[in-house]
Amino acid sequence: MNNLKEIKPKNSINLAEPFVCEAPNDMKKAESWTDNIKYLVVGILFGIVFVKAEIISWFRIQEMFRLQSFHMYGVIGSAVVVGMISVFLIKKFNIKTVSGEKVEFHPKKSQKGQVYGGLIFGLGWAITGACPGPIFAQIGSGYVVVIATLLSAVAGTWTYGLLKGRLPN
Amino acid sequence: MEQFFEAILKPWPWYVAGPLIGLTVPTLLLIGNKSFGISSSLRHVCAACIPANIPFFKYDWKKEIWNLVFVLGVFVGGILATNFLENPNTFVLSNATIADLKALGIQDFSGLMPADLFSLETLFTAKGFIFFILGGFLVGFGTRYAGGCTSGHAIMGLSNLQIPSLIATCCFMVGGFAMTHLLMPIIFRLF
């Protein structure tokens, strides 16, 4: 039995550690460049919603953390409700993807990182007024200075990768 | 029809925007078996540009390229919405927030961002360092440490009933409240 574990699956890349991503590509079929246009379109629509609902606004984030407006709570809350119903329906009726694959879900493991990392991100969210999604829409809206925020966020992600082994998790 | 276009140009209410954002979850799952999450794009940028032999960045980022295409779309969406769907009215902010922020020294409430803060001139000051450089660093470091951001945890994770995502989301909020109410008054007093 022990020998079986040593066998590596064919075609897999030799990873130093198992690759865990919160937004993984679980599609089995390889996608071409033209297939990516779908994600570009969804991204564009998403960016438009971000701007039109003023989610990219630093002021709206301040309003949220000061409990002075329901807007952001309504946005996140109703997004979660619609997401929950969708995931429930996909699981319940075993709805397949357009290419006929089974939809993959990933249970998340409880780790200390969700607390420490979550608190750190929260501090950054309130001061920059940006989660990683709205950052891109802010830059698109012409707030050039946010490019600095984005580059710094990349640097933060890189630093986490560097220190990962030494952080409590 | 005219009313429809008028409504599109005005700021969208939460009950329109929220469900549309929620629909991103089944859309991505069904068109390509992709779990919704945005902060991973920052990791893919590291893996593609500056892996530096760090194990965390050694993976096949090309397989995850959809995520980079998606955020490119968010950027383009920002350009389109701002240039072609501009709100004709002035930006409305709650009076209580205006009063609070005025007390901290913010003066310009005309746009989505405080113009006195979000300018290139500010970037090269100590204030800009805290708001953009340090702030951005906390966002990038924190989301990766937490394993996701508002989209990956709060929306995708909660949609899939994940307790770790609920914990992460609560911590995002606690961090945000702490920054807003405890640290920001100190930061603004520095300048």
Is A147 an interface residue toward B (CB < 8 Å)?
A: no
Question: Residue A122 and residue B81: Cβ atoms within 8 Å?
Answer: no
| pLDDT-based confidence at residue A11 (cuts at 50, 70, 90) | very low
- Chain A CB contacts of B184 under 8 Å are 126-127
> Residue A82 has what DSSP assignment?
H
For the stretch A85-139, pLDDT in tens is 999 999 999 999 999 999 999 999 999 999 999 999 999 999 999 999 999 999 9
Place of tokens 């530096």: B52
Residue of A nearest to B187 (CA): A127
A54 contacts in chain B (CB < 8 Å): 11, 91, 112
Q: How far apart are CA A74 and CA A83, in angstroms?
A: 14
Neighbours of B18 (CB within 10 A): 28
Question: A162 or A8, which is more confident?
Answer: A162
Q: For residues A58 and B97, what is the distance between their CA atoms, to the nearest angstrom?
A: 11
**DSSP H or E stretch at residue B44:** helix B40-49
Mutate which of A57, A59, A166 to test chain B, going by most B C-beta atoms within 10 A? Answer: A59
**pLDDT single digits (tens) B106-158:** 999 999 999 999 999 999 999 999 999 999 999 999 999 999 999 999 999 99
pLDDT for A50 beyond 70: yes
- Asked if A46's CB is within 8 angstroms of B21's CB, the reply is yes
pLDDT of B97 higher than 80: yes
